[in-house]
């Protein structure tokens, strides 16, 4: 798979989220397109909670969130409650291939991921015990070795910035997203 670089145009399209709502990838402010792993992934859930906590700040910066998982929408639906942004299922991994998002053992074997994995599993164990979330499916059709990726997309469909994760916990934190978007905020308009 070839990785996309800033300046690469994204095909104009509308995706359908797990609620059946249409989500445009272009045309309305900046889009932070996140590629995550599987429905119920503890590391993904931990990261998405950090996005939820600062979602108003992200929106005020003119950024819309769109989050893609390589799980079917039917599995993702149970994790969508309380998330103020769309979740899109891509079990065929078409978008993953188009954007050059990889998978590999380094997702879990990289020692830099281990502290985050431990913290994420601890948070998920507590949430499951309190019946606030369910365990992920025991069998993941696309495996558990997906790597994350983040893209900042301009209203005209150009990729402004791209980050390909080196391990399961290597995604843009909110501060990095906001810093990355700052130079483009005036030209992209506010969402």
**pLDDT for residue 169:** 85
Residue 47 pLDDT grade (very low, low, confident, very high; cuts 50, 70, 90): confident
Domain map (residue ranges) of the chain: 14-184
The CB density around residue 1, as the number of other CB atoms within 10 Å, is: 12
E strand spans, the chain: 14-16, 22-24, 30-35, 63-69, 87-89, 149-153, 159-164
The residue length of the chain stands at 191
- Closest by CA position to 109, among listed 144, 149, 68: 144
For residue 154, the Cα-to-chain-centroid distance in whole angstroms is 17
What integer is the mean pLDDT of 134-153? Answer: 74
**pLDDT for residue 191:** 41
**pLDDT for residue 190:** 46
pLDDT at 124 over 50: yes
Biggest alpha carbon–alpha carbon distance for the chain: 46
Strand order of the β-sheet with 149-153 is 87-89, 63-69, 30-35, 149-153, 159-164
**pLDDT for residue 178:** 96
The residue among 188 and 156 whose pLDDT is bigger is: 156
Could you tell me what percent of the chain has a pLDDT over 70? 83
Question: How far is CA 72 from each of CA 18, 51, 140, rounded to the nearest angstrom?
Answer: 9, 22, 10
pLDDT at 189 over 60: no
pLDDT at 123 over 90: no
Question: What class is the 14-184 domain?
Answer: alpha beta
pTM of the shown model: 0.84
Residues 6+ away with beta carbon under 8 Å from 28: 64, 155, 191
The rounded mean pLDDT for the chain is 84
Q: What is the pLDDT of residues 146-186, one digit of tens each?
A: 789 999 999 999 999 999 998 888 899 999 999 999 988 76
For residue 83 the two structure tokens come to 């998330």
Q: What is the pLDDT of residues 69-79, one digit of tens each?
A: 988 888 888 77
Q: What is the pLDDT of residues 11-27, one digit of tens each?
A: 888 999 999 999 999 88
């Amino acid at each position: 798979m070839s990785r996309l670089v800033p300046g690469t145009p994204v095909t104009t399209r509308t995706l359908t989220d797990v609620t059946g709502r249409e989500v445009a990838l272009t045309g309305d402010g900046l889009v932070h397109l996140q590629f995550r792993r599987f429905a119920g992934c503890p590391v993904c859930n931990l990261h998405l909670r950090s996005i939820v906590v600062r979602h108003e700040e992200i929106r005020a910066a003119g950024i819309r969130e769109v989050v893609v998982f390589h799980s079917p929408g039917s599995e993702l639906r149970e994790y969508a409650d309380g998330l103020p942004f769309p979740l899109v299922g891509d079990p065929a991994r078409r978008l993953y291939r188009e954007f050059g998002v990889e998978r590999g053992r380094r997702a879990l074997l990289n020692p830099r991921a281990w502290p985050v994995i431990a913290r994420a599993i601890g948070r998920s164990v507590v949430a499951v015990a309190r019946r606030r979330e369910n365990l992920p499916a025991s069998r993941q059709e696309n495996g558990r070795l997906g790597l994350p990726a983040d893209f900042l997309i301009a209203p005209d469909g150009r990729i402004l910035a791209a980050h390909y994760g080196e391990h399961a916990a290597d995604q843009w934190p909110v501060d990095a997203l906001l810093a990355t978007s700052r130079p483009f905020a005036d030209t992209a308009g506010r969402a």
